[in-house]
């Protein structure tokens, strides 16, 4: 295996962060520590001098003394960064206390006397850090390290604006293999002995085994042929219970006997396709045990196994294995051209093409290597001479290594700009096959301080988006999934790329899953699925941790690693932590000691189903940027006076939460607010709280709009949402604990046929403005005296008020998805025709709605219209002959149903 020297590159990045933080100090920080301005200048000079010799140190890392010198430097740079953050945090606290009302005991604690004492303490620590840096700077002379400033990087091209994620790019040259694999699955007769055939795909890393399996798995003919389709990423550990749990989609950690029974019940008699991706197990007995569990599937069932091991293929196969080979030169060149050249076409420059073909030959037909190198050359925007240099010099370093493919991939990391190196390395924290949530990953990068300041005043999340897209465009991410609006939701990392990420970080990052693994003293970033050492070891091994992620439950699409227990004393030892994920740990409450985590930027408490509230001390975390509370089903309330620096507040599936906290409207930095809950019994849910939150982006759900009916006129004139131009998705939902009434019942409202509807069109109730369902209500009233006139008048009032409310909730024209649910009005506002970017429109449970706006014809971006349980629109929007059909015929996908998708799940 290649043994690279990445330490100097990591030091270059960390040193850059320290210098960046030193340069960002303002008068508030300088007021905390006596003579701090001089100390900062001295530290900047020292760090800059050390940074200048890092390139020379890289060339000499085989020297043990220099390697130790770099490790010492790494520690002191991290400590310096923590200290600088201490000073900035203290300045922020002073600023907050000076400008707001504060509790008496807190005011006393931060009295002038205490500030002086703490300032002296920070000053002493600053001197100690400087002394360590001076010693390291002095040693660079002893080690004969000379200044070799990092070469000026070649201009880094912005990622393709039209980058394509279609699978064809990944499967060039695999047509024959796909055809052969499909024939195994669809046309091979299964023996009488076994109902299930097993087909291995064998090849070394990067050849595209998983890609080929995905292509076949998603093929239309394959999808139709099998009754059940299941995909399991196995990787290193062949744990039968975990594999079985993944197959059945159950992560409850049941006993193996129960898991076996559940698996048999799921597949018994069903013709299924199961993909076991990335299998390493060469223990035949383990495979036979798993095989016995799946043999009860119906005849024609199949298992596809992807593996690098011929032994694995031998012990599992019932068919001859499909041995995947590298692409031939022409197909390799075709794939390379797609990623290396503008427009994906070979250039007219013959010399450049010749150099490119020479580079392709050295990639040995491996698709991952071809894509990675091609993407690298594209992103660096190199000229012809640079390509020649790359081919003759960079590749000459590779030929001497046994692991040639891995060495080629290493070039991608070597040529990453320094600002991307940390972001890439951070991905090593998570297990292989992990599904990264794009927004979450960017939030983590921001929390760790990996994002450089933008020269055009963009927010860090926008810069982080560019970082993500650059890594994606260089093929360091793959398997992208998209939302309804075409935005990226998730991605994955190839196993070899993951191996590369783990290699570059050394002992700084740790993914701990074995019970016997310890936290290294120099570990700064920890992801764990075991709690053994947290209670036992809370000093040197954890007090410098910057990230603590506990995989107690599935994280963003990944499978559970088993239930963890949280030992709260551990929190007292991680005072430098910036990222803390305590998800799925059955936490009922957080200790007040959380206030000690003054560096904390990111707090994830999702899936803690017993969590009732957050301690008030959370509001004292002045650096806190992100709070995730989704799937905390018993959470009742949020603390008031949340930190004004808060950027992300996620509240999906918090069913017990009744209202929003006081002061929410003051969080003007808030970018993510998944849900805004209105409360008719409290001023806390005042819609005006949204007025100042114009930085909101992504998705916003506003619930219980019924409570605004008494203030409908005010809402109509306020135009609360109009300035939120970053918002992408908006859901407007009515109904606040109302019983389902007759006009909400799709079955009752469908009793009338079209002839009866036309007879009632001129009746008095229709003239009063009542919607369609009341036609049938009048008839039922005569027969059963089911409703009183007061109810009719009340409904008319609701209808008019709802029309005013919806008129006042006009979003910015850049919105891409709009959901209107439970609205009682008879028409939609005209502003809908101004939503020029609208991609998806969903209207549900709006039985009063008589028609769609004429302007909907002009929404050329609209790709999907969904109408659920809207009785009048169901008839009027009938395909081809409905009165409204001409307005919506241009929309590619129109779904009209008397039932909502949720109701259908219960009916079925």
Summarised one tens digit per residue, pLDDT across range 3-25 is 344 555 667 778 888 888 888 77
Positive or negative torsion for Cα 284, 286, 289, 292 = negative
- Determine what percent of the chain is predicted with pLDDT higher than 70: 78
Selected residue with higher pLDDT from 684 and 579: 579
Q: Give the residue from 395, 360, 415, 232 showing the smallest Cα distance to 306.
A: 232
Positive or negative torsion for Cα 329, 334, 338, 343 = positive
Other Cβ atoms less than 10 A from the Cβ of 336: the count is 26
pLDDT at 569 over 70: no
Identify the pLDDT of residue 190: 54
Find the angle CA(367)-CA(371)-CA(377) to the nearest 5 degrees: 145
**For 672, which DSSP code?**
E
The answer to whether 552 and 86 have CB atoms below 8 angstroms apart is no
pLDDT at 893 over 80: yes
Identify the pLDDT of residue 635: 94
Identify the pLDDT of residue 785: 45
Local structure of 394: helix, strand or coil: helix
Mean pLDDT over the full length of the chain? 80
Distance CA 107, CA 97 (A): 8
> What is the maximum span of the chain, computed from C-alpha positions, in angstroms?
102
pLDDT in tens, 50-96: 888 887 777 676 788 888 888 889 889 999 999 989 888 887 777 76
241 Cβ partners below 8 Å, 6+ apart?
Answer: 256, 259
**DSSP H or E run through 468:** helix 460-473
Which residue is listed with tokens 């783990």?
A: 502
pLDDT in tens, 178-235: 889 998 888 766 554 567 889 999 988 888 888 899 889 988 899 899 988 989 888 7
Average pLDDT estimate for 232-249: 82
Distance CA 140, CA 458 (A): 39
pLDDT in tens, 132-177: 999 999 988 888 888 865 544 444 455 543 333 335 445 677 888 8
* Structure confidence at residue 809 as a pLDDT band (50, 70, 90): very high
Q: Give the residue from 47, 55, 40 showing the smallest Cα distance to 8.
A: 55
Identify the pLDDT of residue 514: 60
pLDDT at 291 over 80: yes
Identify the pLDDT of residue 761: 42
The answer to whether 411 and 376 have CB atoms below 8 angstroms apart is yes
Identify the pLDDT of residue 750: 38
Identify the pLDDT of residue 583: 87
* Structure confidence at residue 561 as a pLDDT band (50, 70, 90): very low
Find the angle CA(780)-CA(785)-CA(789) to the nearest 5 degrees: 95
Selected residue with higher pLDDT from 197 and 104: 197
pLDDT at 753 over 80: no
What distances in angstroms separate CA 793 from CA 704, 741, 870, 879, one per listed residue? 21, 15, 21, 34
Distance CA 94, CA 89 (A): 9
The answer to whether 312 and 339 have CB atoms below 8 angstroms apart is no
Selected residue with higher pLDDT from 861 and 774: 861
**DSSP H or E run through 430:** none
* Structure confidence at residue 847 as a pLDDT band (50, 70, 90): confident
Distance CA 298, CA 225 (A): 12
Strand partners, 304: 199, 275
Q: Helices 240-248 and 256-267 sit at what angle, rounded to 10 degrees?
A: 40
pLDDT in tens, 323-354: 988 888 998 999 998 888 887 788 888 888 88
Q: Give the residue from 453, 454, 455, 494 showing the smallest Cα distance to 472.
A: 494
Local structure of 345: helix, strand or coil: coil
pLDDT at 764 over 80: no
- Determine what percent of the chain is predicted with pLDDT higher than 90: 31
Report long-range pairs for 399-405 (Cβ below 8 Å, ≥24 apart): 401/2, 402/1, 402/2, 403/1, 403/2, 404/364, 405/204, 405/205, 405/206, 405/364, 405/366, 405/368, 405/369, 405/496
Lowest mean pLDDT across 285-294, 457-466, 878-887: 285-294
pLDDT in tens, 382-428: 677 878 888 887 777 675 555 778 888 888 888 888 788 889 999 99
Structure tokens at 251: 């992560």
pLDDT in tens, 595-630: 889 999 999 999 998 999 998 889 989 999 999 999
Which burial class, exposed, middle or buried, applies to 515 when counting CB atoms under 10 A from its CB (0-12, 13-18, 19+)? exposed
Q: Give the residue from 697, 621, 620, 630 showing the smallest Cα distance to 657.
A: 630
The answer to whether 671 and 459 have CB atoms below 8 angstroms apart is yes
Highest mean pLDDT among 411-415, 421-425, 548-552, 658-662: 421-425
pTM to 2 decimals? Answer: 0.82
Q: Where are the alpha helices (DSSP H) in 24-58?
A: 27-30, 36-51, 54-58
Identify the pLDDT of residue 631: 93
47 Cβ partners below 8 Å, 6+ apart?
Answer: 15, 18, 19, 22, 77, 80, 133
């Amino acid at each position: 295996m290649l043994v690279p020297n990445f330490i100097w590159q990591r030091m270059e990045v960390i040193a850059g962060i320290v210098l960046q933080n030193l340069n960002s100090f303002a008068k508030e920080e300088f007021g905390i520590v006596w003579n701090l301005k001089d100390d900062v200048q001295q530290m900047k000079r020292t760090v800059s001098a050390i940074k200048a010799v890092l390139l020379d140190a890289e060339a000499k890392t085989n020297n043990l003394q220099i390697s130790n010198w770099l490790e010492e430097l790494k520690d002191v740079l991290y400590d310096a960064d923590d200290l600088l953050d201490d000073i900035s945090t203290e300045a922020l606290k002073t600023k907050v206390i000076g400008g707001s009302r504060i509790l008496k005991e807190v005011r006393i604690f931060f009295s002038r006397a205490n500030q002086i004492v703490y300032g002296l303490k920070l000053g002493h620590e600053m001197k100690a850090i400087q002394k360590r840096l001076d010693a390291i700077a002095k040693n660079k002379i002893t080690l004969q390290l000379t200044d070799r400033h990092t070469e000026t990087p070649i201009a880094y091209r912005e990622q393709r604006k039209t980058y394509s994620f279609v699978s064809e790019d990944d499967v060039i040259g695999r047509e024959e293999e796909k055809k052969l694999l499909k024939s195994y699955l669809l046309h091979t007769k299964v023996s009488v002995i076994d109902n299930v055939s097993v087909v291995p795909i064998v090849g070394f890393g990067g050849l595209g085994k998983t890609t080929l399996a995905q292509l076949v798995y998603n093929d239309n003919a394959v999808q139709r042929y099998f009754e059940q389709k299941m995909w399991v990423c196995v990787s290193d550990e062949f744990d039968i219970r975990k594999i079985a749990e993944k197959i059945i989609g159950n992560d409850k950690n049941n006993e193996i006997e129960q898991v076996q029974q559940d698996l048999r019940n799921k597949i018994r008699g069903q013709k299924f396709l199961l993909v076991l991706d990335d299998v390493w197990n060469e223990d035949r007995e383990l495979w036979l045990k798993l095989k016995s569990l799946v043999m009860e599937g119906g005849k024609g069932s199949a298992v596809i196994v992807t593996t690098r091991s011929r032994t694995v293929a031998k012990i599992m196969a019932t068919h001859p294995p499909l041995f995947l080979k590298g692409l031939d030169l022409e197909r390799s060149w075709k794939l390379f051209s797609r990623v290396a050249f503008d427009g994906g076409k070979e250039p007219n420059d013959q010399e450049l093409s010749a150099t490119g073909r020479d580079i392709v030959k050295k990639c040995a037909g491996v698709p991952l290597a071809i894509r990675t190198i091609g993407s690298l050359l594209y992103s660096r925007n190199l000229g012809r001479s640079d390509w020649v240099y790359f081919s003759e010099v960079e590749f000459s370093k590779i030929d001497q290594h046994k692991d040639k493919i891995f060495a080629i991939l290493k070039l991608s990391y070597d040529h990453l700009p320094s600002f991307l190196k940390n972001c890439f390395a951070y991905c090593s924290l998570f297990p292989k096959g992990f599904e990264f949530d794009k927004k979450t990953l960017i939030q983590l990068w921001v929390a760790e301080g990996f994002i450089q300041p933008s020269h055009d005043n963009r927010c860090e999340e926008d810069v982080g988006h560019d970082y993500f897209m650059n890594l994606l465009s260089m093929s360091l991410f793959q398997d992208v999934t998209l939302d309804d609006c075409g935005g990226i939701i998730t991605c994955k990392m190839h196993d070899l790329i993951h191996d590369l990420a783990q290699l570059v970080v050394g002992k700084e990052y740790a993914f701990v899953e074995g019970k016997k693994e310890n936290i290294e003293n120099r570990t700064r970033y920890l992801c764990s699925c075991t709690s053994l050492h947290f209670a036992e070891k809370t000093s040197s091994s954890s007090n410098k941790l910057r990230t603590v992620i506990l995989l107690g439950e599935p994280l963003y699409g990944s499978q559970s690693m088993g239930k963890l227990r949280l030992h709260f004393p551990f929190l007292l030892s991680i005072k430098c932590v910036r990222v803390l994920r305590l998800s799925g740990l059955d936490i009922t409450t957080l200790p007040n000691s959380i206030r000690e985590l003054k560096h904390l930027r990111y707090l994830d408490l999702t899936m803690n189903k017993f969590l009732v509230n957050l301690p008030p001390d959370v509001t004292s975390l002045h650096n806190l940027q992100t709070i995730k509370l989704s799937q905390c089903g018993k959470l009742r309330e949020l603390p008031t006076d949340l930190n004004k620096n808060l950027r992300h507040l996620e509240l999906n599936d918090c069913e017990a939460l009744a209202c929003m906290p006081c002061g929410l409207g003051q969080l003007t930095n808030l970018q993510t607010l998944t849900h805004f809950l209105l409360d008719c019994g409290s001023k806390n849910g005042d819609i005006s709280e949204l007025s100042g939150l114009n930085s909101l982006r992504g998705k916003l759900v506003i619930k219980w709009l019924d409570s605004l009916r008494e203030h409908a006129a005010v809402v109509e004139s306020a135009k609360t949402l109009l300035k939120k131009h970053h918002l992408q998705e908006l859901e407007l939902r009515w109904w606040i604990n109302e019983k389902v009434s007759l006009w909400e019942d799709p079955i009752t409202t469908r009793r009338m046929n079209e002839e009866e509807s036309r007879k009632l069109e001129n009746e008095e109730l229709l003239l009063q403005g009542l919607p369609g369902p009341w036609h049938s209500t009048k008839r039922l009233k005569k027969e059963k005296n089911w409703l009183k006139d007061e109810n009719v008048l009340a409904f008319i009032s609701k209808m008019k008020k709802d029309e005013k409310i919806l008129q006042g909730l006009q979003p910015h024209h850049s919105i891409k998805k709009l959901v209107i649910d439970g609205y009682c009005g008879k028409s939609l506002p005209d502003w809908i025709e101004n939503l020029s970017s609208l991609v998806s429109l969903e209207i549900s449970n709006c039985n009063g709605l008589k028609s769609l706006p004429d302007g909907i014809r002009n929404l050329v971006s609209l790709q999907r219209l969904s109408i659920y349980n809207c009785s009048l629109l169901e008839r009027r929007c009938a395909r081809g002959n409905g009165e409204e059909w001409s307005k919506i015929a241009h929309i590619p996908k129109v779904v009209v149903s008397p039932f909502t998708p949720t109701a259908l799940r219960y009916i079925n």
